[in-house]
Structure 1
Amino acid sequence: MTSAAPHQSIVDRPFVLDLFAGPGGLDVAGHALDIPSLGIEWDRSACLTRYAAGLETLHADVSAVRRDAFESLPPEINVLAGGPPCQTYSVAGHGAGREALKKVEWYIDRLIAGDSDEEIDEDLKKFSNDQRTALVLEPLRYAIQATRSPNRANRPYDVIVLEQVPTVAPVWDHYAKVLMETGLPDRDRTKYDVVVDVLATETYGVPQTRSRAVLIARRRGLGKPELPEATHRAYEPKGWNRRNAPAEGRVHQPTLDEKPAPEAEERQGKTDRDLPSWRSMGDVLRDRVGTHPGRTTPFLVRSNYGSSGNPGRRGVRTDQQPAATVTGRISRFVVFEHLDENIVHEGARFSMNEAGMLQSFPPDYPWSGTAQAQQVGNAVPPAFGMHLLSAALGLPVPDTKVLRKPWPAATDEQRAKLRSHGCGAADTCTDRCPHPKDQVPPRSSRPRKKVSVK
């Protein structure tokens, strides 16, 4: 799967190191852009999916690789990417959230000041929940470690691309501040030009409403980075109704009450009126492709979960709307087939193939292992990833249509080779693979409220 767009990258031969790589969303994006990548992922099932998809992978703890095996990473890597797992608390919230953000900023400042890894690791052990704090620090620690690596001739990364849920935006803001104003603690005090914002993935052709906090940084001298330009209209739940739903293959003309907020227009560089409609669930799932039989009957989807914290995006949606945010609970979404005005019955729930397609993964992506719905929900939408990487590297706006073709699964021989590299054996995990019980932080530090049953 390749893109027709010519390469005009700001760096020669971009090569991505994808931290917290999950089942491969950003790697699939790189593959579609002809950009090689290496992903580090500790979850066994996500690694099985990656091997089945033919993606270069290390089944490892990101922190352990930095401490013990950084010199074994390919020295030609020049793009650092990743989305460290978000905290169980909101770093932008009140009370404990604000305190947690101050703690994260304190560690960031210490790293930039050149404090030793040993001192910081020792301090991290003293605080509860700091396993997650440590993970959100890893992209910066990798950026610093690159400047201390003999294997790389102490060469810093040229480009950094990070994404996470919107509540992590304050952390990215502090990353941006220190990278622009202070620089890395190397001999040259390497600085970066950085942009940070919260973007809506449906404005990049992803058939769901999902907001992500993104950071794009370029080493100073490579040109100022810009956010990816929107290619589709934002979904406005208050302005949508069936009468103005876009017909397939036709640009939707918004009504006056659908006009986007001025700041959204300014950020996108053009008004929503100039863009085609967001992609709907029906656009993606209607036609037969690969092993997907197609959903030709109009349907409704009921979700009890919100969408990126916006209650207005919760509830029932039709096949003519984008999906609500795809999470690990996607398999619980109830799908009703709408036969006519008066007859509705429950139909088949989304398969993992369909759930992946709503995340913009190619049809027939080889989801493997356990907790597949969680893998889908945690992944970076590949179409969004294509836009992030293209903007970060100065490439043309990508053609995400390449993601609509079925994904070719790796052969048994290819899987064995990838797993030998990633796990240490062709058909199993080894002692060097991480143990989940040692890697997963507590889900929450808050005690559960006791519920009386009457």
Structure 2
Amino acid sequence: MNSIELFAGAGGLAMGIANAGFDHRALVEWNPDACQTIRENHLRYSNGLPGCVLYEGDARTIDYASLAEEGVAIVSGGPPCQPFSLGGKHAGYDDTRDMFPEAVRSIREIHPQAFIFENVKGLLRESFASYLEYIILQLSYPDLARSEGEEWEKHLARLERHHTAGARPDEFAYNVVFRLLNAANYGVPQKRERVFIVGFRRDLGIEWAFPEPTHSEDALLRSKWITGEYWERHGLAMPVVPAKLAARLQRIATNGLGLDKLPWLTVRDAIGDLPDPQANPRNGARDHVFIPGARTYAGHTGSPIDEPSKTLKAGDHGVPGGENMIAMPDGAVRYFTVREAARMQTFPDDYVFHGSWGEIMRQLGNAVPVRLAQVVAAHVHAHLPAP
């Protein structure tokens, strides 16, 4: 099944979709360093086939219809998230960086069987509620385009009237759902929450729901503080149980919580086999170089090594934030190396990143975890008709 990826970044979403069985015919990305990262890993996006083309440039200049000549099962992408980011200026629909209009145009011109778009948790902020509805309705009825000079609120009202009037049998439209997913619940060693928007072309008559979580925090707490399996697996003595967890652990033990899921993966689970980059700078691991200068202050405390990491962020001016540090049990902190951060995002160890340290960490901070993308995309793939 052919696919097209917009706003590909470093390729996390695109790789997960390829791993799920789709063959990318085109990737679209404007950042030169991210494009070079994709070039250096190009065989990962089309099951080893040479047919995947990288378009380096502004998505607004792409003729999407020309990309659909061979038939496209799915369009995917992460429209730039700065307008809705919790760390940004929250300009939203007034921000020229909002690329959701381009996502809608791609659906209008390509007519794929399905699409997968993802964005930051901030998209669900109450102040953006009307605009989120606007996004969903545009994706539901992509042919009902915004007229030149029409204010978005007027277009929203027109979409609402069309939606409540009921769909016509011959109408080109999509059934669209969205949900906030925590990557840790799907086997990613990172508490990263992202909004996924998934749509299926209505004429296909597909019934679909988001995949059920496979991992849980209760299961991790059980393995750490009830069975002790977590510490035994890592060859460590079990620490004293934190007093603040006593009541919750009692509920977990009494009610059998966490028995139906795998434990959340922690930073230690993800990087425990890598050598200490500070103690062993010539460790031979790709991109596993110690970066000095990490320090803590209010709101900048790092990710405890025995929990999933905090959400990796792109940072400002090439400097990652406190979420990009490991916090050791003794209180020491250091920055994740590139390889460690890549593992937090479930990129394979032989994946090559291009750019300075700050630029690579920006690419990683903006990426979708490969494993999360694969889980969602595989669930979509399983429901599409065979080609």
Task: Mark yes or no: TM-score above 0.5.
Answer: yes
Once the two structures are superposed, residues 350-402 of structure 1 have per-residue CA deviations (whole angstroms, 9 ceiling, x without a partner) of 22111111111111310112311100111111001001111222369xxxxxx
- The one-character-per-residue Cα deviations of 1:297-353 (angstroms, maximum 9, x if unpaired) are xxxx976697xxxxxxx7354322111111124855444655xx7xx6566x32211
2:312 aligned counterpart, secondary structure:
coil
1:109-128 to 2 correspondence within 5 Å?
A: none
CA contact (8 A) 2:182 2:192 kept: yes
- Whole-angstrom distance in 1 between the partners of 2:68 and 2:336: 38
Aligned length: 309
Unaligned runs of 5+ in 1: 1-12, 105-128, 147-155, 261-270, 296-300, 307-313, 397-454
Deviations 1:418-443 (A, max 9, x none): xxxxxxxxxxxxxxxxxxxxxxxxxx
| Identity across the alignment (%) | 23
Q: Is the 8 A contact 2:187 2:214 kept in 1?
A: yes
Aligned pair partner of 1:132 in 97, 101, 107: 97
Q: Aligned letter for 2:101? A: L
User: Does residue 206 of structure 1 match 2:188?
Assistant: yes
Q: 1:278 aligns with which of 240, 257, 264?
A: 264
Instruction: Work out whether 1:257 is the aligned partner of 2:248.
Output: yes
The answer to whether 1:224 aligns with 2:188 is no
Aligned partner of 2:19 in structure 1 is 32
What does residue 369 of structure 2 align with?
Answer: 381
| 1:39–1:197 CA distance, 2 compared to 1 (3 A) | same
The match for 1:49 is: 37
Contact 2:114 2:199 (C-alpha < 8 Å) held by counterparts: yes
Matches within 5 A, 1:304-343: 315-329=301-315, 333-335=324-326
Q: Write the distance in 2 (CA, Å) between the matches of 1:228 and 1:246.
A: 27
CA 1:89/1:179 → structure 2, altered by over 3 Å: closer, same or farther? closer
The 1-side partners of 2:378 and 2:208 are apart by: 11
Asked if the contact 1:163/1:213 (under 8 Å) is kept, the reply is yes
Task: Report if the CA contact (8 A) 2:10-2:37 is conserved.
Answer: yes
Q: How does 1:353-368 map to 2 (within 5 A)?
A: 353-368=339-354
Q: How far apart are the structure 2 equivalents of 1:287 and 1:257?
A: 31
Q: Which has the higher contact order (CA 8 A, sep 6+)?
A: 1
Name the CA shift for 1:90/1:45 in 2 (closer, same or farther; >3 Å): closer
- CA RMSD in angstroms comes to 4.0
2:135 — aligned with what?
A: 175
In the aligned structure 2, how far is the partner of 1:209 from the partner of 1:225? Answer: 25
Cross-structure match for 1:166: 121
Specify the alignment match of 1:21 in structure 2.
Answer: 8
Q: TM-score, normalization: structure 1?
A: 0.58
Q: How much does 1:177 deviate?
A: 3.7
The amino acid that maps onto 1:145 is E
Letter of the structure 2 residue corresponding to residue 138 of structure 1: E
Residue 184 in 1 paired to residue 143 in 2? yes
d(CA) in 1 for partners of 2:250, 2:56: 46
Whether contact under 8 Å (1:197, 1:215) holds in the other structure is yes
Q: Quick one: distance in 1 between partners of 2:365 and 2:298? A: 13
Contact 1:234/1:278 (8 A) holds in 2: yes
User: What is the distance in 2 between the residues matched to 1:213 and 1:229?
Assistant: 15
Note the C-alpha offset of 1:130: 4.1
TM-score computed with the length of structure 2 as normaliser: 0.67
Instruction: Identify which of 216, 220, 230 aligns with 1:247.
Output: 230
Residue in 2 that maps onto 1:446? none
Per the alignment, residue 452 of structure 1 pairs with: none
Q: Secondary structure at the match of 1:167?
A: helix
Q: How far apart, in 1, do the equivalents of 2:383 and 2:219 lie?
A: 29
Query: Retained in 1: the 8 A contact 2:303–2:327?
Result: no
Q: Which of 145, 162, 169 does residue 109 from structure 2 map onto? A: 145
2:173, 2:37 → 1: CA distance?
37
Find the aligned partners of 1:353 and 1:31 in 2 and give their Cα distance.
Answer: 21
Deviations, residues 94-121 of structure 1 (Å, cap 9, x unaligned): xx96xx66xx5xxxxxxxxxxxxxxxxx
CA separation of 1:227 and 1:31: change in aligned 2, threshold 3 A: same
Q: Which residue of 1 aligns with 2:72?
A: 77
- Structure 1 pair 214–315 and aligned structure 2 pair: CA distance change class (3 A): same
**Residue 62 of structure 2 is aligned to residue 65 of structure 1:** yes
Taking the aligned partners of 1:185 and 1:390, their CA distance within structure 2 comes to 30
